[in-house]
């Protein structure tokens, strides 16, 4: 059975790169009928934070990456020390002060209080060769690798050592991670061999680059997954985009649901070259998912964004909210767009765009607005068809072109120059609110 793991460290939030790694591990496990293991690498007690752990777990759950087993390295220190002692007894490791040896492994780069001698692994000179499932054969000469610290002088394990011990103990047989870990692989293979553990298969994913061609940064998309959630991206859309950052379903297909992806996915088909993170592409994919979303589910997802902007929708019926959402569903890029575009449906004190006012409402429309309000008040039935007929009839009566009145009415009712069809807007606002808003522009 395929057993893979995702091993985040709770020293920071879950970002795009880590979530892509989690996705490929989860997807491979589900595609092969295997197990997805979540291992929290919290050996750095000083930098690990509960708020980071909570965000990581919440983000994974939000994206749908359910795990089959979960482990915490901080609860396994005794196991690491026991294995290190075994290597000492077998003459494959030695005790020494890190400051007094040419060893590598204090990878956190911080000064720590020296409480005991570190345990150092002896690196033998040999050639390490492994077949990467994505890149093919990779070889290393261990002559350039220094002796490796296993247990640091503060008693905690180093990354490479804890990783090998846990992968073996948890029966991880496929390790899927980023290209930046390729240099760790020969060090870990040496430990597997020294401990007589089975070496897993490796697949190293090319890194994700920013739009400027450099490493992904906050400016080019390296934002926490929880921030993307707050910005109004749908989990399904973000997962779809992450999938395209390293794999393709073929046939120029860009929108693919996770169930279809599971049927087609194989880690061996992952891209061999780096992917470029493109916010415009993510926004487009998100808009496509919003368009096809169930409107009831979409309405529920939008409510927190409305409340965040002080828009109280509790005074309106669910059917009303649903109708307004349908008007905008095909226009939204993110959920956060909705309150700014639809605020006039939920409050009267909306802001009128100054440029729109200057362009369309400098002229006095008192006569036209008053006539239109009077006709709407008397209109029966009051529906989208009769509203348009009423408006068209008024244009003929006044000798006006459609654009001469439709834009001023829209700006007076919504404060904006663009939006859903004007007659739909009038219908859902209703006679009373339309009358009040247009009358406000009538000079007494």
The predicted-structure confidence for 408-432, as pLDDT tens digits, reads as follows: 999 999 999 999 999 999 999 999 9
Q: Which residue has the tokens 């589910």?
A: 297
Q: Kindly report the backbone phi and psi dihedral angles of residue 140, in degrees, each rounded to the nearest multiple of 5, phi listed first.
A: -135, 145
How high is the pLDDT of residue 100? 56
Residue-level pLDDT at 115: 61
CB atoms within 10 A of CB 127: 10
Burial (CB < 10 A; 0-12, 13-18, 19+), residue 394, is middle
Q: Is the pLDDT of residue 108 over 50?
A: no
| pLDDT given at position 213 | 83
The whole-angstrom separation of Cα 118 and Cα 98 is 6
Average pLDDT over residues 194-208: 97
Alpha helices in 309-421 (DSSP H): 318-328, 337-342, 354-360, 366-377, 384-398, 402-414
Average pLDDT over residues 336-353: 95
> Does residue 152 have an active-site annotation?
no
Cα angle, residue 406 at apex, residues 312 and 360 outer, rounded to 5°: 85
- What whole-number distance in Å separates Cα of residue 77 and Cα of residue 386? 75
Among the options 114, 127, 218, 347, which is catalytic?
218
Contact 275, 36 (CB under 8 A): no
pLDDT value, residue 113:
47
302 within 8 A of 338, measured Cβ to Cβ: yes
How wide is the angle at C-alpha 394 spanned by C-alphas 390 and 399, nearest 5°? 150
- ∠ CA 243-9-145, nearest 5°, is 95
Residue 39 burial (10 A CB sphere; 0-12, 13-18, 19+): buried
Under a CB-based contact definition with an 8 Å cutoff, are residues 279 and 53 in contact?
no
| pLDDT mean over 66-92 | 97
Q: Write a three-state SS string for 149-202.
A: EEECCCCCECHHHHHHHHHHHCCCCEEEEEHHHCCHHHHHHHHHHHHCCCCCEE
Domains of the chain (ranges, CATH numbers) = 295-345 (1.10.8.70), 354-439 (1.10.10.350)
- What average pLDDT does range 267-291 have in this prediction? 96
Confidence of residue 223 (pLDDT cuts 50, 70, 90): confident
pTM of the model: 0.91
């Amino acid at each position: 059975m395929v057993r893979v793991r995702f091993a985040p460290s709770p020293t920071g939030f879950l970002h795009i790169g880590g979530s892509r790694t989690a996705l490929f591990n989860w997807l491979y496990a589900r595609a092969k009928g295997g197990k997805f293991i979540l291992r929290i690498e919290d050996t750095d007690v000083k930098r690990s934070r509960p708020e980071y752990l909570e965000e990581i777990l919440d983000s994974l759950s939000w994206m749908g990456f359910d795990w089959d087993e979960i482990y915490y390295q901080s609860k396994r220190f005794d196991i690491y020390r026991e294995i290190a002692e075994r290597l000492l007894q077998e003459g494959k490791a030695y005790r020494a002060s890190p400051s007094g040896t040419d060893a590598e492994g204090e990878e956190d780069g911080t000064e720590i209080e020296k409480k005991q001698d570190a345990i150092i692994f002896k690196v033998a000179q040999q050639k390490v060769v492994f077949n990467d499932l994505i890149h093919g054969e990779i070889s290393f000469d261990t002559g350039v690798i220094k002796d490796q610290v296993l247990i640091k002088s503060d008693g905690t394990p180093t990354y490479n050592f804890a990783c090998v011990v846990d992968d073996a103990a948890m029966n991880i047989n496929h390790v899927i991670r980023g290209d930046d870990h390729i240099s760790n692989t020969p060090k870990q293979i040496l430990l597997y061999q020294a401990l007589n553990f089975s070496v897993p298969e490796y697949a190293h994913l090319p890194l994700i680059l920013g739009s400027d061609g450099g490493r992904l940064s906050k400016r080019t998309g390296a934002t926490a997954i929880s921030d993307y959630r707050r910005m109004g991206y749908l989990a399904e859309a973000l997962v779809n985009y992450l999938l395209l950052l390293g794999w393709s379903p073929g046939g120029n297909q860009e929108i693919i649901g996770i169930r279809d992806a599971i049927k087609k996915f194989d880690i061996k088909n992952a891209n061999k070259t780096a992917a470029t993170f493109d916010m415009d592409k993510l926004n487009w994919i998100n808009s496509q998912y919003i368009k096809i979303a169930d409107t009831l589910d979409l309405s529920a997802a939008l409510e927190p964004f409305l409340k965040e902007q002080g828009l109280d929708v509790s005074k309106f019926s669910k059917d009303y909210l649903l109708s307004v959402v349908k008007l905008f569903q095909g226009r939204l890029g993110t959920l956060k767009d909705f309150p700014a575009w639809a605020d006039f449906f939920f409050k009267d004190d909306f802001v009128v765009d100054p440029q729109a006012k200057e362009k369309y409402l400098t002229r006095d429309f008192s006569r036209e607005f008053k006539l239109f309000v009077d006709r709407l008040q008397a209109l029966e039935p009051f529906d989208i068809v009769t509203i348009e007929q009423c408006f068209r009839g008024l244009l003929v009566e006044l000798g006006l072109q459609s654009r001469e009145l439709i834009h001023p009415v829209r700006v007076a009712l919504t404060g904006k120059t663009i939006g859903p069809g004007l007659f739909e807007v009038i219908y859902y606002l209703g006679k009373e609110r339309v009358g009040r808003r247009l009358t406000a522009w009538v000079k007494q």
